[in-house]
Chain A
Amino acid sequence: MKTVEEIKAAIEAAVPGAGLEVVSNPSVSGQHSLLMEPRRAVEIATFLRDDAGLALDFLSNATGVDWPDKEISEKVKVTRTVMRPVDGVETPVEETVEETRKRIVPGCLEAVYHLYSVEKKQGPVVIRMKTVNRSDQVQLPSLTSIWRSAEFQEREIFDLFGIVFTGHPDLRRLLMWDEFKDHPMRRDYVEPDDFEYEPTAHDEVLKRAQEHRAKVQGLGAKS
Chain B
Amino acid sequence: MAVAEDKTERLPGWNRPRQVEPDGEGELLEVAMGPHHPSTHGVFRMDVALDGERVIRLKPVFGYLHRNHEKIAEGAGYLASMPFTDRLDYMCPLTNNWAYALAVEKLTGQEVPERAEYLRVILGELTRVVNHSSAIGFLIQEMGASGTPLMYAFKQREKILDLFEALTGARMMVNYMRFGGCRVDATPAWLAGVRKVLDGLPQFADEFENLLRGNEILMARTQGVGILRPELAVNAGVTGPMLRASGVNYDIRKVDGYGIYNRFKFRVPLGEHFDVYDRFMIRMLEMRESFGIIDQALKDIPGGPVMDPKAKIRGFRPKPGEAYGRIEAPKGELGFYLISDGSPNPYRYRIRPPSLINLTILEDMCMGVNVADVVLIFGSVDIVLGEVDR
B323–A147 touching, CB < 8 Å:
no
B324–A31 touching, CB < 8 Å:
yes
A105 at interface by CB-CB < 8 Å: no
Chain A residue nearest to B320 (CB atoms) is A26
CB distance from A129 to the nearest CB of B (A): 15
Which residues of chain B are near A59, meaning CB under 8 Å?
A: 237
For the complex, what is the distance from the CA of A188 to the CA of B330, rounded to whole Å?
36
Which residues of chain B are near A63, meaning CB under 8 Å?
A: 337, 348, 350
Chain A residue nearest to B356 (CB atoms) is A152
Beta-carbon contacts under 8 Å, B301-358 to A: 318-326, 333, 335, 337, 339-340, 347-348, 350, 352, 356-357
CB distance from A119 to the nearest CB of B (A): 8
A210 at interface by CB-CB < 8 Å: no
Chain B residue nearest to A110 (CB atoms) is B348
Of B9, B68, B325, which contacts A169 at CB under 8 A? Answer: B9
For the complex, what is the distance from the CA of A169 to the CA of B352, rounded to whole Å?
22
For the complex, what is the distance from the CA of A173 to the CA of B10, rounded to whole Å?
18
Which residues of chain A are near B255, meaning CB under 8 Å?
A: 121
CB distance from A64 to the nearest CB of B (A): 8
Total A residues in contact with B, Cβ cutoff 8 Å: 39
Chain A residue nearest to B335 (CB atoms) is A61
B147 at interface by CB-CB < 8 Å: no
Question: Given A27-B107, A27-B318, are A151 and B360 neighbors across the interface (CB < 8 Å)?
Answer: yes
Question: Given A174-B63, A185-B71, are A148 and B321 neighbors across the interface (CB < 8 Å)?
Answer: no
Which residues of chain B are near A170, meaning CB under 8 Å?
A: 7-9
B116 at interface by CB-CB < 8 Å: no
For the complex, what is the distance from the CA of A179 to the CA of B250, rounded to whole Å?
40
For the complex, what is the distance from the CA of A29 to the CA of B299, rounded to whole Å?
32
Question: Given A28-B106, A175-B63, are A147 and B235 neighbors across the interface (CB < 8 Å)?
Answer: yes
Chain A residue nearest to B232 (CB atoms) is A148
B13–A145 touching, CB < 8 Å:
yes
Of A27, A173, A185, which contacts B321 at CB under 8 A? Answer: A27
CB distance from A154 to the nearest CB of B (A): 11
B71–A184 touching, CB < 8 Å:
yes
Which residues of chain B are near A147, meaning CB under 8 Å?
A: 235, 237
B237–A58 touching, CB < 8 Å:
yes
A26–B337 touching, CB < 8 Å:
no
Which residues of chain A are near B9, meaning CB under 8 Å?
A: 169-170
B361 at interface by CB-CB < 8 Å: yes
Chain B residue nearest to A160 (CB atoms) is B70
Beta-carbon contacts under 8 Å, A162-178 to B: 169-170, 172-178
For the complex, what is the distance from the CA of A195 to the CA of B322, rounded to whole Å?
37
B359 at interface by CB-CB < 8 Å: yes
Which residues of chain B are near A57, meaning CB under 8 Å?
A: 234-235
Question: Given A170-B9, A174-B63, are A148 and B352 neighbors across the interface (CB < 8 Å)?
Answer: no
For the complex, what is the distance from the CA of A176 to the CA of B337, rounded to whole Å?
22
For the complex, what is the distance from the CA of A13 to the CA of B10, rounded to whole Å?
33
A11 at interface by CB-CB < 8 Å: no
Which residues of chain B are near A153, meaning CB under 8 Å?
A: 356-357
For the complex, what is the distance from the CA of A176 to the CA of B71, rounded to whole Å?
14
Q: How would residues 40 to 82 of chain B score, 1 for a CB under 8 Å from any chain A CB and 0 otherwise?
A: 0000000000000000000000110010101100000000000
B11 at interface by CB-CB < 8 Å: yes
Beta-carbon contacts under 8 Å, A109-131 to B: 112, 114, 118, 121, 124, 126
Q: How would residues 12 to 41 of chain B score, 1 for a CB under 8 Å from any chain A CB and 0 otherwise?
A: 010110000000000000000000000000
CB distance from A111 to the nearest CB of B (A): 11
A60 at interface by CB-CB < 8 Å: yes
Which residues of chain B are near A112, meaning CB under 8 Å?
A: 337
Question: Given A59-B237, A121-B255, A148-B237, are A26 and B319 neighbors across the interface (CB < 8 Å)?
Answer: yes
CB distance from B161 to the nearest CB of A (A): 30
Listed A/B pairs (9) with beta-carbon separation below 8 Å: A25-B321, A26-B321, A28-B321, A31-B324, A57-B234, A59-B237, A126-B324, A145-B11, A175-B63
* 6 additional A-B residue pairs with CB within 8 Å, beyond A58-B237, A60-B237: A27-B340, A58-B235, A148-B361, A152-B357, A170-B9, A172-B7
Q: Which 6 A-B pairs have the closest CB atoms?
A: A27-B321, A149-B237, A28-B109, A29-B323, A175-B63, A148-B236
